[in-house]
Structure 1
Amino acid sequence: MDNSTKPIGLFDSGIGGTSIWKEIHSLLPHEDSIYLADSKNAPYGQKSKEEIIALSFKNTDYLLGLGCKIIVVACNTATTNAIKELRAKYNVPFIGIEPAIKPAAIHTVTKAIGILATKGTLSSELFTKTVSGFKDITVIEQVGYNLVSLIENGMIQSEEIKELLRQYLQPMIEANIDHLVLGCSHYPYLIPQIQEILPKDVTIIDSGEAVARQTKKILLASNLLNTGAQKCKQVFYTNSDPAVLKTILGDGYNVVQKDF
């Protein structure tokens, strides 16, 4: 049976993972995809590990029920807390997303990097293990309290979000970071505001392109890459108000409000 024409499944605790979807769609334009925005349960970053695993199972079950051939966990918090359990439970390839600490640590000149992420990501065993491998680098960790909730409520351009970013980034600026790692898939939507605050020579890193390349690599290795040139189908499900998701995506996409 040819499974290559089946869709790629993605899930996140809301709209943030669309930043990952956009990179995958750009690299793999002939792949169908189904995206789950679990906005009703956002943010994942304030939940327990057990809750995050349960939500990740729920989302995966839903996507597999729709015939997805591979699951992209387009959420740093879900990846760092649940990817091991997901791979143990399901017989399907999983692509995770975690903060891109390694490239920042390799390329830093000032030997100081910043990481802006959720509490769930920064407190995870996987993140702690990753950071511990760079003992000669100063890592300034900052929980992005309330950022996800504001983004989910369509307040990306609000003064409130800008003020929070100023508070969170100022200690990093004082520590002379030269790289800022965005450890949440919602945060790429804040890059313009972040650039206004940070010095011009600070490099901002997110994981989108790397995740897209890894997705293509695993699809090829699993003989699941869709080599056809047909028009692809993109479907987005949300269990909350679809207005913000529609705004983020723009016109022409199929956004469905559904309880899952």
Structure 2
Amino acid sequence: QGVSSEKNRKTYPTIKIFNYEGPAKIIVQCVTTDEPPLLHADSVVGKQCENGVCVGYVNPDNMTASFPNLGILHVPRRIAMDFCMGLCIFLPPGEDRQSIRKAAEQRAKKMDLSVVRLMFTAYLPDENGHFTRMLEPVVSGPIYDSKAPNASNLNILRMDKTSGSVAGGEEVFLLCDKVQKDDIQVRFYQENENELLWEGFGKFGPTDVHRQYAIVFKTPKYFDIYINNPVSVYVQLRRRSDGETSNAKPFLYYPQKQGELQQISKMYAEQ
């Protein structure tokens, strides 16, 4: 479905051609999230598709083309290897078979099989009526495999602490929906009328993410350790790869005791 699809109003992937009226042919393919995008081993399937490619034509009344029956056929890593071997046939002449295989292995290993983008390429007719005049392709946002960890919505379910010292370093247990240990951050932030005043990040490593549903981290130090009154901030999960964030939970920073403040000041003065 389209990115703006709703429960009672479905939309579908649609493109529009501007500054031109007339026939146009549209080719849809799966590509990677790389820049520039590369052909992906996964393929599009549907009524208008053949051999992993979908073909459509624009409606001349509004110069749009919609694709209501698209699906994505996911392939395992070994098939991706064969796909990349096929692409490596187009390497410069003189490359030996071992070099081709090595290039294919590197390409297949690098390819992220959990996410694709759709690339739409429009072709306009030439003077002979053949669709040979290619326009600049447009690429969709990332489309994640529904079984991939980074396809799920981020959500904080519970934290065992909702307050802590401005000095930071306090251990917190956080329960969440499924996350990917190498692609997740615990972000603390403070806003004033949508203006970001401060942000910090919880400290933890990949081994502190337990079975993708719990994170044990240490709170960051608040930027002002000399506060006299408690300060309210927020905590949320953030995915590194796409910047997606979870719901925000309140967190309270409270002032240090006078003796501890002096010790902290001395410690920072010695550094």
Superposed pair shares fold, TM > 0.5:
no
For the aligned pair, the TM-score class normalised by the smaller chain equals: under 0.3
Give 1 or 2: higher strand fraction.
Answer: 2
Provide the TM-score with structure 2 as the length reference.
0.22
Provide the TM-score with structure 1 as the length reference.
0.23
Structure with larger Rg: 2
